[in-house]
Chain A
Amino acid sequence: MTSNNKKELLLEMKNIHIDGFSDERWHKILKGVDLNLYRGEILGLIGESGAGKSTMGKAAMGYTQPGCKIIKGEILFNGTDLAKLTEFEKRKIWGTKISYVAQSAAASFNPAHRLMDQTISAANRAKINPTEVLRKDAVQLYESLQLPDAENIGERYPHQVSGGQLQRIMTAMAMSPRPELIIFDEPTTALDVTTQVEVLSAMRSIVDKFNTAAIYITHDLAVVAQMADRIKVLRYGEEVEESETREMLSNPKEEYTKSLWSVRSLIKPEETNEDYMLSIKNIDAAYGSSKVLHNVSVNIPRGKTVAIVGESGSGKSTTARVITGLLPQTKGEIIFDGKKLSPKLEQRSKEELRRIQIIFQMPDTAMNPKQTVDEIIGRPIEFYHGVKGKEREAKVIELLKMIELDESFLDRLPSELSGGQKQRICIARALAANPDLIICDEVTSALDQIVQEGILKLLQKLQKDLGVTYIFITHDIATVKAISDEIVVMYQGEVVEQGLKSKILNPPHPDYTELLLSSVPEMDPDWLTNLLNKRSS
C-alpha cells in the first residue's frame, strides 16, 4: 500500500447527480455522492449491482454512458471541472491523464487490431513519445506485469491470449501514457481465483511503482481490501459510509456494510452417509473430438449436499450435463438410487427424468420470458403429476410459499422480477417435479452477496424439510463452506479429491487444492502481501 504523505487533492467530485433512461422513463442512478481522491492514493468503491459504482467511476472521467446524463455536480480534476468541458476537450484528458480498465478485457479489446497497437494507441495519439519509444516502454510494462514472452506478446491478437493475460495487457495499456488517475472497473470479476491473484498483484505493484492514483470498483470486499487505502460503500446511488481500509474491515459502522460479507459467516455442520443417491463411475465424456472428462468418479450421499468446485474448464458443468443425460458419456456408468441410468436422455423414463432436476446459473435465460410464473411452475406439475385445474393452482401456491413468495406473483412475467426472485422461481420449478436430486449449477454466481445468502438459506431449509439431495456446482469457496457436506475438487476434467468438507478444507492438501484454497481472497488487508511472500519463499 502506498505511503501516507499524499495530501494533494487530485480529484474532487461534489454532489454528483446522474439520471439514466430506461423502460421509457428517467430515473436516478446517483443521488448526490461526493468523492475525494489524493495523488497516489487508491480508493475502493464497493456496492452491489445497481449501486451506481460503475456510473460513479465513469463520471470521474466526465463520461456517462449513452442514455445517462449528469444532472448536477462538479467533477474537479486538477482544478478543472470535467462536467463543463466539451467532448473535444475531454478527449485530450481521456487515455492520457485518466485511463480506464474495463471488467471484461475479452470484450474491451478490439478484435481487429494487434495488442501492441492498442496498448500504445492513446499515448501515440497524444504524441507523448515517438512510436518506437512507446513500444519499448510497453514491452517493459508487460515485463513488470509478469506477462510471458513480453517481447512478442504485443504482436498477437486479443483472441490469442488468455483472459488473465488480457486483463494485465489492459493495465499496461492504461499505464502506457503514465496517467495521473486510473479507473479499475471490476477488473478481476470475470477471472478464476487463481488467475485473480496474479492479476491483482501485478496491478498493485505497477500502481505502486508509478505512484498513480486509482479508483478500484468491485463488489468483492476481500479483493478491495488488498488494493485500496480507503473504501467507500455505495448503495442505491447514495453513500453508505467511507473510511480507511483497516478501519472499515475491523469496525464497519453501518448494518449494510456488515451484511455485505454475511454470506461468509454462513456455516453448516457437515454430515454424510454411505447410502448413495447417485454414483458415477469412471466416466469419460467429450465434445466432438475434444475429451473433457477423464475417468471421473463421484458418490453423492442421500439427502446431503456435495459441492463440486473448480475453475472454468475444469469439467464441473460437463459432469452435470452427463448426469442429466444432456451429454451421453463415452465410457463409465451412472447408478441412480441403485439402478443404472441410460446415458441418453431419450432412453430414460419419465420417472427417471422427474427425479433429477437442474437449476441453472442464469435465471434470465433459463425461463421463457413470455410465460407467467404460474405457467412456469405449473407446467412440470402437469407434466409429471398429471394434476390440473384447482389442484394444480393450489400446488403452485404451495410451492411459492415454500420459496418465501406468495400468490401475488402468479401473473407476473420474468421481466417483472428481481434477480433473486427469478432464481427462486427456478428453484420452485425444479421442486415442482418433486425430485430426489437437484443439480445447482452456479446458482448464486450471478447474484449479489445479500441475495446469495437468502438463496443459500432457502436451499438449506428445503433440504431439511424435504430431504432432497444437492449437487452444488460452484467456483466460489465461500459458498462451498456455507452449504456443503462433502466437496469434490476438479481440475482439467479430472477429480483431484473427494471427501468431507473438513477434510478437504484443512491441510494437508494435494497441490492443486492448496493453490485453489490459498487464492481465495480473505478479509485481511495483508492477505495478498503475505500470500505472495509465502509463495515466493
Chain B
Amino acid sequence: MPGDFATEILGQSATKSSVEALRSELGLDKHPIPRYFEWLSNVFQGDFGSSFSGRSKVQGDQGDRSRLVVELIIPRLKNTLFLTGVSALVAIPLALLLGISAALYRNSVYDRSATGFSLVTVSSPEFFTGYIFILLLATLFPVFPTIANVNEDTSLIDRFYLTALPVFTLTLVTMGHMMRMTRSAIINILSSEYIEMAKLSGATRYEVIVKHALPNAWAPIAQVITINLAYMLIGSVVVEFVFNYQGIGRLMVGSVYNRDIPVVQACALIFASTYVILNLLADLIGIISNPRLLYPK
C-alpha cells in the first residue's frame, strides 16, 4: 500500500514537518523489525494496540477519541459471527440433505437439476447473487430490507429479519460446493465392495447410504464444510459491503482505506486463525470418524 496513516490523514497539503511529527508520535519512523516484535509480544499479551483513527491531531489535546482495537473489533466480530452462524445453520444441513438425496437418486431428474443449479450458484460471485436478491426480494417484491443495519440494541427477531438477504446470499454461494462434495464423496463410496456386500445382505437403500456409506464419508465432508465455514466468515467482506452490514469485513476494508494498520493487522490475524482452527477441526473429525486411525492394529 502506498503511503501511511500520516500522509493519508494530513492530506496532500501537509507540510513535511507535520507528517514527520505524526510519524514519530505513532512510531512509524522506527525500523520495521523491532516494530514487528513489539507488536507480536503485545498481541501475545492480548494487547492489539489502539486504532490510529479518531486520535487528536494536536499532541496532548483532551479530545483524544482514539479507541482500543479490541473495543473496536469485538462488536463487529459478534455481528459477523451472527451472520455466518445463521448462514451455516441454514446451509450445512440443507447441503447434506441435498447431497445425500442426490447420491441416493443418482442420475435422476432431481439429481441433475440439483447439481446443475448448484453449479450456477457456486459460479456466481456474492455481489451478483446479493444484488439479484435485492432486486427480487427488496425492490420488486419488498419483503426484506436492502440494508442490514443492526446495532447493539437490535432485538434477535429484528436481527433475523434484517439479515435475511445476506444470509440467503451466503447460503447460496457456499451450499452448492458442500452439496456437490457430499454427493461425490458418497457416490465414490457407493462403488466399493462393502456396499455391494451390504446390498447382498438385504440392506435397504436408506441403510446403505446412512449406515454404510455416510460413516466413511465424514472426513471429506468435514473438510469441505470447514473450508466453506472459513469462506463464509472471510467472504462476508463482500456481502457485508453489499448490504452495508456492520461486520468485521467492513471494518477491515474501512481501515485499509485509512491505513489504520493496527486494526487491519488484528482483522487479518482473526481471519488467518479462523482458517487454521477450522482446518484443524476438519482433521480431528477425519481422525475421530476413522477407526483405522482411532484404534491401532
Contacts and interface: CB of A to CB of B under 8 A. Distances in A.
Contacts of B297: 159-160
Interface string A318-353: 000000000000000000000000000000000000
A184 to B, nearest CB: 13
B197 A113 contact: no
A99 B204 CA distance: 15
B289 interface: yes
A393 to B, nearest CB: 43
A65 interface: yes
B291 A104 contact: no
Interface string A104-145: 100111111100000001100110000000000000000000
B4 interface: no
Nearest to A101: B197
Interface in B145-194: 192-194
B107 to A, nearest CB: 11
Contacts of A113: 211, 215
Contacts, number: 75
B208 to A, nearest CB: 10
A228 to B, nearest CB: 21
B45 interface: no
A61 interface: yes
A107 B196 CA distance: 10
B202 A92 contact: yes
B202 A111 contact: no
Given A113-B215, A157-B295, A102 B197 contact: yes
A112 B289 contact: yes
A527 interface: no
Nearest to A65: B196
B200 interface: yes
A246 to B, nearest CB: 32
Interface string A474-494: 000000000000000000000
A178 to B, nearest CB: 14
A236 interface: no
A244 B197 CA distance: 31
Contact of B202 (A94, A102, A107, A156): A94
Contact of A104 (B193, B202, B290): B193
Nearest to A109: B194
A95 B200 contact: yes
Interface in B259-297: 289-292, 295, 297
Contacts of A58: 200
Interface string A61-72: 101010000000
Interface string A163-178: 0000000000100000
Contact of A111 (B201, B207, B292): B292
A472 interface: no
Contacts of A109: 194, 197
Nearest to B207: A125
Given A94-B201, A95-B202, A126-B202, A112 B193 contact: no
B202 A125 contact: yes
A92 B215 CA distance: 24
B70 interface: no
B296 to A, nearest CB: 8
Contacts of A470: none
Contacts of A157: 291-292, 295
Contacts of B202: 91-96, 122, 125-126
Nearest to A173: B201
A100 B199 CA distance: 10
Given A112-B216, A157-B291, A100 B201 contact: yes
Contacts of A125: 202-203, 207
| Most chain A CB inside 10 Å of its own CB: which residue of B193, B202, B215, B297 | B202
A118 B196 CA distance: 14
A121 to B, nearest CB: 6
Contacts of B204: 91
A108 B201 contact: no
A96 B203 CA distance: 11
Contacts of A99: 200-201
B218 to A, nearest CB: 9
B137 interface: no
B227 interface: no
Contacts of A94: 199-202
A121 B201 contact: yes
Contacts of B193: 102, 104, 107-108
Interface in A7-49: none
B207 to A, nearest CB: 8
Interface in A52-108: 58, 61, 63, 65, 91-96, 99-100, 102, 104, 107-108
Nearest to A156: B295
Contacts of B104: none
Contact of A108 (B197, B215, B292): B197
A175 B207 CA distance: 21
A159 B290 CA distance: 11
B23 interface: no
B92 interface: no
B68 interface: no
B194 A107 contact: yes
B212 interface: yes
Interface string B3-37: 00000000000000000000000000000000000
B198 A110 contact: yes
A110 B295 contact: no
A125 B212 CA distance: 14
Contacts of A104: 193
A437 to B, nearest CB: 37
Contacts of A122: 201-202
Contacts of B289: 112
Nearest to A157: B291
A64 to B, nearest CB: 11
Interface of B: 192-194, 196-204, 207, 211-212, 215-216, 289-292, 295, 297
20 contacts: A91-B204, A95-B201, A96-B202, A99-B201, A102-B193, A102-B196, A109-B194, A110-B194, A110-B197, A110-B198, A110-B215, A111-B194, A111-B290, A111-B291, A112-B212, A121-B203, A156-B295, A157-B295, A159-B292, A160-B297
Closest 8 CB pairs of A and B: A95-B201, A95-B202, A112-B215, A94-B202, A107-B193, A122-B201, A157-B291, A100-B200
Interface of A: 58, 61, 63, 65, 91-96, 99-100, 102, 104, 107-113, 121-122, 125-126, 156-157, 159-160, 173
